[in-house]
């Protein structure tokens, strides 16, 4: 029973053996006529805008699993560092793990350099990791933050390409949100104007795309301050029942009333103590 001691290679053979087992399972299950459950995705609308003092990020809150809503109020704006936040679209597990991994790495890096981390560093780390896995990690991200060089906004695609722009949208509702941005974006907006614009863009995605829904979350990042507004706007409130099927008292008229008392005698009395130890 001789174990070869490769220091870091123990990870690799096991990874791809699971893949063989999964393909075999899928083939067998398909013979029976059913299918394996689909991965939970965040069919999403996420967007970001650079305004005068910083960055506003917005996201909806619906997570879907195939054609079913898996989570009516999930949080898609992930923490990366005190001055950097990231919205994630695509496979929910991928965005969650990727942002957590990069957040940890960025924290270690910032401890090592003794400086506040920069948005470009987070962008570079994310794009290098996503390119290494050639798009198999399904994470489309909108990364925004304020560092020593001012406010920055990046969009990162699952294959590893990035864009640095003043306004970006991602997800299945990105076209609806981009339509709003293209119409009303101006450089150097005020904070309230920027928040209203992002809110309207996410609302456009929520009402025009099936994969997005529920509430609108906003995250306003300025130099030294972060406002995480969850929820900023409950666009889709669950309805309140207006009618009631119960009959009111007095609906049926009483004709006669007769009272019969039951004769009961005490036959036997016994006490059983409970075991409360």
Return residues touching other proteins (CB under 8 A): 1-3, 5, 7-8, 10-21, 23-24, 101, 104-105, 108-109, 112, 132-136, 159
What are 157-160's contacts with CB under 8 Å, separation 24+? 157/130, 158/90, 158/130, 159/130, 159/131, 159/134, 159/135, 160/127, 160/128, 160/130, 160/131, 160/132, 160/135
Instruction: Please state the three-class secondary structure of 31-88 as a single string.
Output: HHCCCCCCCCEECCCEEEEECCCEEEEEEECCEEECCEEEECCCCCEEEEECCEEEEE
**Smallest gap from residue 90 Cβ to other proteins (A):** 13
Per annotation, catalytic residue among 42, 44, 61, 91:
44
- Is 44 assigned a catalytic role? yes
Query: Can you tell me the distance from the alpha carbon of 47 to that of 25, in angstroms, rounded to the nearest whole number?
Result: 38
Write down the least CB distance from residue 81 to other proteins, Å. Answer: 14
Strand 77-81 relative to strand 63-65, pairing: unpaired
Residue with tokens 């001691």: 5
Quote the CA–CA distance of 174 and 177 in Å, as a whole number: 5
Residue with tokens 């309207």: 200
Least Å from the CB of residue 156 to other proteins: 15
* Nearest distance in Å: CB 2, other proteins: 6
- Of 45, 73, 39, 40, nearest in space to 59 by CA: 45
* Nearest CB to other proteins, comparing residues 7 and 268: 7
* Rounded Cα distance, 136 and 158, in Å: 8
259's tokens? 């009272």
Residue 10 or 224: which CB sits closer to other proteins?
10
Using the 8-state DSSP alphabet, how is residue 113 labeled? H
Tell me whether residue 163 or residue 190 sits nearer to other proteins (CB atom). Answer: 163
What's the closest the beta carbon of residue 5 comes to other proteins, in angstroms? Answer: 6
* Distance of closest approach, residue 117 Cβ to other proteins, in angstroms: 13
Pull the structure tokens for residue 215: 């509430």
Catalytic (active-site) positions: 44
């Amino acid at each position: 029973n001789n174990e070869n001691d490769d220091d870091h290679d123990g990870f690799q053979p096991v990874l791809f053996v699971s893949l063989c087992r999964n393909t075999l399972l899928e083939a067998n299950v398909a013979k029976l006529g059913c299918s394996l459950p689909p991965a939970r995705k965040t069919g999403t609308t996420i967007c970001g805008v650079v305004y005068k003092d910083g960055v506003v990020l917005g996201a909806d809150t619906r997570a879907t699993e195939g054609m079913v809503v898996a989570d009516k109020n999930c949080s898609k704006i992930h923490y990366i560092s005190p001055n950097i936040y990231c919205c994630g679209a695509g496979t929910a597990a991928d965005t969650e793990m990727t942002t957590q991994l990069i957040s940890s790495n960025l924290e270690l890096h910032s401890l090592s350099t003794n400086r506040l981390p920069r948005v470009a560093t987070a962008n570079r780390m994310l794009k290098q990791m996503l390119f290494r896995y050639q798009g198999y990690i399904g994470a489309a991200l909108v990364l925004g933050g304020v560092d020593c060089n001012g406010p920055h906004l990046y969009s990162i695609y699952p294959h590893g390409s990035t864009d640095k722009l003043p306004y970006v949208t991602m997800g299945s509702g990105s076209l609806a949100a981009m339509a709003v941005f293209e119409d009303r974006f101006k450089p150097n907006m005020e904070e309230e104007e920027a928040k209203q614009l992002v809110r309207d863009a996410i609302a456009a995605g929520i009402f025009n795309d099936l994969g997005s829904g529920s509430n609108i979350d906003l995250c306003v990042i300025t130099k030294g301050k972060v406002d995480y507004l969850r929820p900023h706007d409950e666009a889709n409130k669950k309805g309140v029942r207006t009618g009631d099927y119960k009959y009111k008292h007095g609906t049926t008229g009483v004709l006669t009333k007769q009272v019969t008392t039951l004769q009961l005698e005490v036959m036997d009395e016994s006490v059983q103590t409970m075991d409360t130890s």
